Structure 1
Amino acid sequence: MFWVALSGLIFSSFMALVRYVGATMDPIQTSFLRYGFGLLFLVPFFVKVRWADVAAANWKLHTLRGLMHGTGVMLWFYAMSRIPLAEVTAIGFTNPVFATIGAALFLREVIRLPRITAVIAGLFGALLIVRPGFAEVDPGAIAMLIAAPIFAASDLIAKVLTRHESGPAVVAYLSVFVTAVTFVPAMMVWRAPTVEEWLLTIAIAGLATLGHLAMMQGFKVGEISAVQTARFLQLLWSALIGYAMFAETPGLYTWIGSAIIIASALFIAHRESKARQTGRPTVEAAHTTRTPPH
């Protein structure tokens, strides 16, 4: 739980830097630089990729995942430049909700009434934060609502890929594809970054990689169902950092919606844990982990 809680603090710091850079740099250019520099930090993972992994790779699924994830990344970076950190974090917690829907639609997994109820509650929580029709909806919130199911679909494809391919290979291919997908859009809005922006984007890539490593360590040494609750501390980190750096104060509806989303996500994780114990299929394979898409 310590490692997962630490990863949440690192991710929140990473998000704050993205928000800060987003005030002067186009979010698409920022997303390209994040993954471009991220390739350098992933050199140890590339070393682990064997030629047999390359030959056996399902390139159709890797390409589809790269296109989807790259699109989601650009939407996520745009949302980060528009709406408070706590809102981005809270809406991002709907990932298991959308993953459950995707598993039922595309993987033909049986979703029973309790989990369906949790899905509906999670979606209601997200809508409560955005409140369409009751408040002016920021384009950043719409972008995040679109990005969340895209990332969930990317997770499902990763689940399928890891049945036959190594984890390092799947991580490495995604980084290459996302860098390629964001390259052309980034060139269309490109401007020469300042020295400060170069340093900040390098720090962004480094923090994102470090956050993933901390989360993987947490999942490695602890049961996923046990450490899952520590992930939601990221909402607290995001709220505190958002207030300290940008004077962002989450509203009442953000907290209520976040509580509903977190409760639904915890319930889904609990159902998955019980299903694994009884040997029934689950949305999340027992040997895989879901990590943030930053």
Structure 2
Amino acid sequence: MTHETPQNPPLAAALILLATVFIAGTTLLAKSLGTDVLGPPLHALQISQGRFVFAFIGISAAVVVLRQKIHKPHWGLHIGRSTFGWGGVTLMFASVAFIPLADATAISFLNPVIGMMLAIPFLGEKVGPWRWLAAAIALMGAMILLRPTPESFQPAALLALGAALAMGAELIFIKKLAGGEPPVQILWVNNLIGMVIASCAALAVWQMPTAAQWGALAALGALMACAQACFVNAMARADASFVAPFAYGTLVFAAIYDAVIFGVVPDWVTTLGAGIILSGAGLLAWRESVNGKRPTVTERLPRPETER
């Protein structure tokens, strides 16, 4: 007998907003770890490893408490999903050490647009003029945030763009996995594989963290695990088309954290570029709701790390 979670849109919105607080917090911690705030800067590969290790510990505890059985995961799809997810997280963490959190977060919101484009050759999906318009708008916003002039170009913004590409590719695997396995199992397997990949990649650059950095790494993993839990529970209580706009709160909280902690106030270029990207992503989500489609848990939501 299948258990249906009662629909509760207000609770779903609150859970998504809470998830955005946590996700923006992970980028703040990544920036602190990648700079000299808490000690000698850690490499993005090591920060990514800490994110997966501590998130895996937290989700494993949830698996034990919930008595979730891990039953025949599709290892091929999981490995593909986790590889791109790890790549997206690592590139995102690398970018925030050099550019404002708001810029990196806004560029990462391109991932549903990238996922839409990749769905054409890999999933055989058809894309109409409205969705192409949404993609063009979002890409224009990304070009603005790259600040493509000799005086203002931000090379590190290309890292955030790479993160969006990797996360967009991850969406293809997520769509194939959706509905085939329990959400908790998907999260557990994803973090297990991500932990293995991240640990192997971090071997060459690993250094002993300071006590403060150990605490930040543990907090980063815990925040990500909490964000994923809020996300999954929110999507069980409302349609993705309703929840999607609330997920853009990540950009707001990232900008607030950057201003309060690092004194970085978004300038007009950041505001303009982010606004255009959000307009494109919002148009894409609106067209999906008009078409009467129900997107998968993460297919149409912006994914700044994260879940990555």
Matched ranges for 1:166-181 at <5 A: 166-181=182-197
Of 6, 30, 36, the residue aligned with 1:18 is 30
Runs of 4+ in 1 over 6 A off after TM superposition: 286-289
Matched ranges for 1:175-190 at <5 A: 175-190=191-206
Higher helix share: 1
Contact 1:158 1:170 in 2 (8 A): no
Task: List runs of 5+ in structure 1 lacking aligned partners.
Answer: none
C-alpha distance in 1 between matches for 2:195 and 2:69:
21
Of 14, 19, 25, the residue aligned with 1:7 is 19
C-alpha distance in 1 between matches for 2:151 and 2:54:
38
Matched letter for residue 42 of structure 1: I
C-alpha distance in 2 between matches for 1:287 and 1:228:
9
Deviation of 1:287 (Å): 9.2
Of 296, 304, 308, the residue aligned with 1:285 is 296
Sort the Cα spacing of 1:44 and 1:169 in 2 relative to 1 into closer, same or farther, 3 A: same
Contact 1:219 1:289 in 2 (8 A): no
Total equivalences in the alignment: 286
Q: Deviations along 1:151-180, whole A, 9 cap, x unmatched?
A: 111122011012433322222221111111
Contact 1:45 1:172 in 2 (8 A): no
Of 258, 261, 266, the residue aligned with 1:250 is 266
Contact 1:70 1:177 in 2 (8 A): no
Of 215, 235, 239, the residue aligned with 1:199 is 215
The alignment status of 1:75 with 2:91, answered yes or no, reads yes
TM-score by structure 2 length? 0.86
Of 35, 39, 53, the residue aligned with 1:36 is 53
Deviation of 1:136 (Å): 4.0
Matched ranges for 1:1-294 at <5 A: 1-23=13-35, 24-44=41-61, 46-47=63-64, 49-50=68-69, 53-54=71-72, 57-276=73-292, 284-285=295-296, 290=301, 292-294=306-308
C-alpha distance in 1 between matches for 2:57 and 2:297:
30
**Identity percentage of aligned residues:** 24
CA RMSD of aligned residues (A): 2.1
Three-state SS of the structure 1 residue aligned to 2:236 is helix
Deviation of 1:17 (Å): 1.4
